[in-house]
């Protein structure tokens, strides 16, 4: 039985992970749960899965008698207490920069990581992968795109390849003109055509920041160069990504959109178990379409990749500026186009730095958040 620490249990990936555990209770045990602020959902999960440890970031609670078998911890860094000695794998399903702290803590404790938090590789990919190699820790991707690449490579990051081709649905605004994009709202941004995800990542899909992040993630996971990673718009989200090899062969992983497939595979690989996902009906699909990214309409994609190529602490600045801008956009305080303005301005205002230690990343993150808040006069 695989013992799991689930960091970010009340978010979209966290809840879908628990669905996988419910499907195979004889295969998996939730040893610890860590959540942020959704107290009701969190306590319901604790009651159902009876973990040894439960942590909550946002507040201290009076613990009811029925939870006496669970040890509770509270506070911003309490999730570290969830990564206990008995854990076999840590699922990092946190959203945003704070995920890197959980990832590095899990690696330091010698625990394999099932990674849904792409920001940890965006801001500190070199640091994370170096630490993982030092500790002999495996990192299993939960992103559908990187799971697809991982599968095409036979679960071996060292498999030689010619090109990785990441697919993108195009997000909620894929058919809007540049003029129409001037007026879009957060409510519209959250209407993803194919996937059911959390609010932040859904907005990132609309700007294509998410896809730029996935390119960066692929660079670090597969120890490759940016020029060996391509992105193509694939509206149907049936092909989740492809790998081209030296002989011209291309392997693609295909399925109907469901995050439970990559979540479950990260926990069971190299074995496969039934996910309950409907088998592909190729006759009803009829056709699969592909098109280039329109960089005029989605300038954030190239901006983030340019920043990533600069390296050092710049990706952490871009990530934090995006996080803060998306937060403000979702609250209706800034416009859609202000997300690009935030990332560009923060990066231009940053003095630089190429020493990528955790403390430096934290400082760069704080700088960018302050910059965006000051830019729009909000706290």
Answer for the pair 145, 115: CB distance below 8 angstroms, yes or no: no
The label of the residue with tokens 């479950």 reads 264
DSSP 102: H
Specify the length of the chain in residues: 379
Answer for the pair 58, 37: CB distance below 8 angstroms, yes or no: yes
Judging by beta carbons within 10 Å of its beta carbon (0-12, 13-18, 19+), is residue 98 exposed, middle or buried? buried
Q: What pLDDT shows up at residue 62?
A: 80
C-alpha–C-alpha distance, residues 274 and 267, integer Å: 13
10 is written with which tokens?
């009340």
Rounded to a whole number, what is the distance in angstroms from the first to the last CA of the chain? 47
Which of 141, 173, 189 terminates a domain? The answer is: 141
125 and 185, same structural domain? no
109 and 239, same structural domain? no
196 and 123, same structural domain? no
3-state secondary structure of 305: helix
Q: What is the CATH number of the domain that holds 30?
A: 3.40.50.720
Pseudo-torsion of CA 195, 198, 203, 208, nearest 10°?
Answer: -60
Q: What pLDDT shows up at residue 192?
A: 79
Which helix (DSSP H) or strand (DSSP E) does residue 253 occupy?
strand 250-254
DSSP 78: G
Reported as half-sphere exposure (CB side, CA atoms, 13 A), residue 183 has a value of: 4
Q: What pLDDT shows up at residue 347?
A: 98
Which of 121, 141, 161 terminates a domain? The answer is: 141
Structural domain includes residue 272: no
Number of compact structural domains in the chain: 2
Structural domain includes residue 269: no
C-alpha–C-alpha distance, residues 363 and 346, integer Å: 13
Q: What pLDDT shows up at residue 314?
A: 97
242 and 222, same structural domain? yes
Structural domain includes residue 161: yes
Which of 123, 141, 159 terminates a domain? The answer is: 141
Q: What pLDDT shows up at residue 252?
A: 98
290 and 168, same structural domain? yes
191 and 71, same structural domain? no
Structural domain includes residue 268: no
Phi, psi for residue 252 in degrees, rounded to 5: -120, 145
pLDDT digit string (tens) for the chain, length 379 residues = 999 999 999 999 999 999 999 999 999 999 999 999 899 999 999 999 999 999 999 877 788 778 889 999 999 999 999 999 999 999 999 999 999 999 999 999 999 999 999 999 999 999 999 999 999 999 999 999 999 999 999 999 999 999 999 999 999 899 999 999 999 999 998 887 776 678 898 899 999 999 999 999 999 999 999 999 999 999 999 999 999 999 999 999 999 999 999 999 999 999 999 999 999 999 999 899 999 999 999 999 999 999 999 999 999 999 999 999 999 999 999 999 999 999 999 999 999 877 789 999 999 999 999 999 999 999 8
* Distance set, CA 249 to CA 196, 225, 332 (Å): 32, 20, 47
Q: What is the CATH number of the domain that holds 192?
A: 1.10.1740.10
232 is written with which tokens?
């193509």
159 and 133, same structural domain? no
86 and 182, same structural domain? no
99 and 199, same structural domain? no
Structural domain includes residue 311: yes
C-alpha–C-alpha distance, residues 134 and 108, integer Å: 9
- Pairing of the two strands 112-115 and 139-141: parallel
Q: What pLDDT shows up at residue 295?
A: 96
Structural domain includes residue 180: yes
251 and 300, same structural domain? yes
316 and 248, same structural domain? yes
233 and 100, same structural domain? no
Q: What pLDDT shows up at residue 196?
A: 66
Structural domain includes residue 89: yes
C-alpha of 216 from chain center: 12
Number of H helices, E strands in the chain: 15, 11
3-state secondary structure of 354: coil
The model carries a pTM of 0.95
Structural domain includes residue 210: yes
3-state secondary structure of 364: helix
Q: What pLDDT shows up at residue 198?
A: 80
Q: Containing domain of residue 245, as a range?
A: 149-258+278-375
Burial 53-82 (b: 16+ CB within 10 A, else e): bbbbbeeeeeeeeebeebeebeeeebbbbb
């Amino acid at each position: 039985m695989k013992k799991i620490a689930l960091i970010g249990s009340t978010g979209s990936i966290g809840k879908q992970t628990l669905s996988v555990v419910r499907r195979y209770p004889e295969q998996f045990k939730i040893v610890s749960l860590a959540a942020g602020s959704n107290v009701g959902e969190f306590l319901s999960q604790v009651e159902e899965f009876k973990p040894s440890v439960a942590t909550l970031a946002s507040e201290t609670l009076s613990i009811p008698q029925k939870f006496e078998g669970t040890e509770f911890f509270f506070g911003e860094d309490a999730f570290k207490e969830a990564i206990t000695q008995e854990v076999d794998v840590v699922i990092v399903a946190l959203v945003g920069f704070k995920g890197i702290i959980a990832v590095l803590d899990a690696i330091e404790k010698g625990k394999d990581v099932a990674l849904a938090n792409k920001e940890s590789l965006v801001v500190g990919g070199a640091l994370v992968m170096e630490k993982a190699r030092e500790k002999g820790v495996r990192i299993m991707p939960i992103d559908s795109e990187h799971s697809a690449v991982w599968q095409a490579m036979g679960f071996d990051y060292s498999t030689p390849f010619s090109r990785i081709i990441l697919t993108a649905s195009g997000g909620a605004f894929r058919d809007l003109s540049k003029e129409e994009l001037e007026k879009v709202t957060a409510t519209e941004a959250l209407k993803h055509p194919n996937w059911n995800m959390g609010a932040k990542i859904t907005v990132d899909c609309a700007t294509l920041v998410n896809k730029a992040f996935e390119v960066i993630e692929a660079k670090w996971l597969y120890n490759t160069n940016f020029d060996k990673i391509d992105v193509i718009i694939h509206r149907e989200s049936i092909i989740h990504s492809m790998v081209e090899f030296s002989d011209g062969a291309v392997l693609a992983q295909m399925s109907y959109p469901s995050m439970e497939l990559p979540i479950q595979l990260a926990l069971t690989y190299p074995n496969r178990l039934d996910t309950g996902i409907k088998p592909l009906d190729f006759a009803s699909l009829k056709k699969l379409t592909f098109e280039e990214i329109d960089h005029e309409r989605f300038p954030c994609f190239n901006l983030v990749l340019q920043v990533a190529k600069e390296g050092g602490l710049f990706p952490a600045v871009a990530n934090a500026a995006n996080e803060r801008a998306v937060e403000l956009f979702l609250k209706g305080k800034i416009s859609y186009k202000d997300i690009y303005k935030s990332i560009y301005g923060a990066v231009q205002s940053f003095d630089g730095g190429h020493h990528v230690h955790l403390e430096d990343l934290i400082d760069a993150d704080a700088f960018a958040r302050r910059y965006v808040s000051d830019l729009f006069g909000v706290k």
